[in-house]
Amino acid sequence: MRGLLTLAAAPFLLVATPALADDHQSEAENAVKLAVNGFMNAISSDDKTDLADHMIPEAMIFVHNRMDPDNPRVDHLPVATHLENWATRDARYIEEMGFSSVLVDGDMAQVWGPYSFWVNYELSHCGINSLSLVRTDDGWKI
């Protein structure tokens, strides 16, 4: 009888396993979204050093710049340089981003979504963000 009970319970365990994986994935995705939201909030912060808490200084920023549709280009800038430049800015910045796709695999994540970037409460530009994140001892970083 015990063998029959074990066999009868086995299909339920198989069905429950993907749900557990989904819960774990949802936790990881939520943690990544929280990190991205923290990054966006740091852009809006009056303390221009807040942004450094959300980025890896050794990383590189790539921007597919399509402001001039006839002359699209890819701009790149080391994060360390971006942070130095950011600290000297004096306008009011706000970036808003939605989440179209959040992919997490272990300690790496990729987030895509539409964004709009505001300078002194006027729309400066908008498009699609593609953010790569890495889980560090201090949490997820851009």
Q: Give the pLDDT score at 23.
A: 61
Q: At 73, is the pLDDT very low, low, confident or very high (cuts 50, 70, 90)?
A: confident
Q: At 5, is the pLDDT very low, low, confident or very high (cuts 50, 70, 90)?
A: very low
Q: Give the pLDDT score at 22.
A: 57
**Could you give the 3-state DSSP secondary structure of residue 93?**
strand
Q: Give the pLDDT score at 13.
A: 41
Q: Is the pLDDT of residue 97 over 70?
A: yes
- Cβ atoms within 10 A of the Cβ of 56, count? 15
Mean pLDDT of 115-140: 94
Angstrom CA distances, 28 to 37, 64, 76, 123, 142, stand at: 14, 28, 29, 32, 15
Cut 0.85: pTM above it: no
Contacts of 56 (CB under 8 A, 6+ apart): 79, 134, 136, 141, 142
Query: Which contacts qualify for 134-139: CB closer than 8 Å, 24 or more apart?
Result: 134/56, 134/107, 134/108, 134/109, 135/106, 135/107, 135/108, 135/109, 136/56, 139/31, 139/35
Query: Contact 87/42 with Cβ under 8 angstroms?
Result: no
